[in-house]
Structures are given as structure tokens and as C-alpha cells.
């Protein structure tokens, strides 16, 4: 394995978000494969207001869960705090992404999200739990 990129974390997150916004998803996937420490950026990328970045995060997780199943769970820690975010869209996205990742480690947090004050969050959390329980890969 090659050494991690030697760039300040905040600069790296900005660069990844900008690349996503420009549609360079394949480049970003390669970066994540090269440097697994980048999985910690997923939570910050979720907060980006640009639509292409938010769509890119979903595509990134979907691709990496198939191509890097041994590493995708490294994104969980950065996603979990968003289950408590004030923004219900971010809470829903967090539940959805945790379901996509499919790791049982997320089940207690998703179970708690099934009592969220927002109906969409509750629904997505329940669906994420069903997804994880029906595909016990971890």
C-alpha cells in the first residue's frame, strides 16, 4: 500500500468536495482506495450544500461497499454524529448511508433513530435496519 496523501486534512476535504462537484467520482474512488484514512472525510462531505457533492457521497459509498468491503466500515464513525444533527435531511442521509454500508455496528444507533421526531428519519432508519439484518455481511 502506498503512503497516505501528504495534504492538510481540511485541504483534502475541500479538494475531494470540489472534485465531486465537478463529477470526478472515479478519481475520488481511486483516492479512497489509495488512502483509507479518507473514509473519515465522508461525514464532512455529507454536510456540503452542493447537490453534486451530496449525490457523489451516495455514489462513493455505493461503489466502495462493493469494491472495498473490507474498508467501507471506516466511514461509520464520521457518519454516526449526523444521526443527531438538527437538520432532518442530514439525519435521513446518515441513516440511509449506514444502511448502505450494512455493518451491524450501526444497528444500535439506527434503532435509536427509529424514534426520531421526523417521520422520514424514522422510516429510513427502519429500512436501514432491515437492509443490514437481511444482508448480514459483517
> Residues 54-78: pLDDT tens digits?
999 999 999 999 999 999 999 999 9
Give the mean pLDDT of 16-35: 95
Percent of the chain with pLDDT over 90: 88
Average pLDDT score over the chain? 92
Q: Which CATH number fits domain 9-134: 1.25.10.10, 1.10.645.10, 3.40.50.300, 1.10.390.10?
A: 1.25.10.10
What's the pLDDT score for residue 135? 82
Give the confidence band of 136 by pLDDT, cuts at 50, 70, 90.
low
Percent of the chain with pLDDT over 70: 92
SS (H, E, C) 83-137: HHCCCHHHHHHHHHHHHHHCCHHHHHHHHHHCCCCCHHHHHHHHHHHHHHHHCCC
What's the pLDDT score for residue 10? 76
Query: How far apart, in whole angstroms, are the C-alpha atoms of residue 87 and residue 114?
Result: 16
The tens digit of pLDDT for each residue in 3-23 reads 555 667 678 899 999 999 999
Amino acid at each position: 500500500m502506498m503512503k497516505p496523501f501528504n495534504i492538510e486534512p481540511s485541504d483534502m476535504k475541500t479538494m475531494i468536495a470540489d472534485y465531486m462537484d465537478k463529477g470526478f467520482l472515479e478519481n475520488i474512488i481511486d483516492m479512497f482506495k489509495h488512502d483509507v484514512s479518507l473514509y473519515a472525510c465522508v461525514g464532512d462531505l455529507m454536510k456540503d450544500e452542493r447537490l453534486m457533492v451530496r449525490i457523489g457521497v451516495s455514489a462513493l459509498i455505493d461503489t466502495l461497499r462493493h469494491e472495498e468491503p473490507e474498508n467501507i466500515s471506516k466511514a461509520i464513525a464520521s457518519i454516526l454524529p449526523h444521526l443527531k444533527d438538527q437538520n432532518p435531511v442530514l439525519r435521513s442521509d446518515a441513516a440511509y448511508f449506514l444502511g448502505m454500508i450494512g455493518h451491524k455496528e450501526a444497528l444500535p444507533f439506527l434503532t435509536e433513530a427509529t424514534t426520531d421526531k421526523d417521520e422520514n428519519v424514522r422510516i429510513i432508519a427502519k429500512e436501514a435496519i432491515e437492509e443490514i439484518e437481511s444482508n448480514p455481511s459483517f
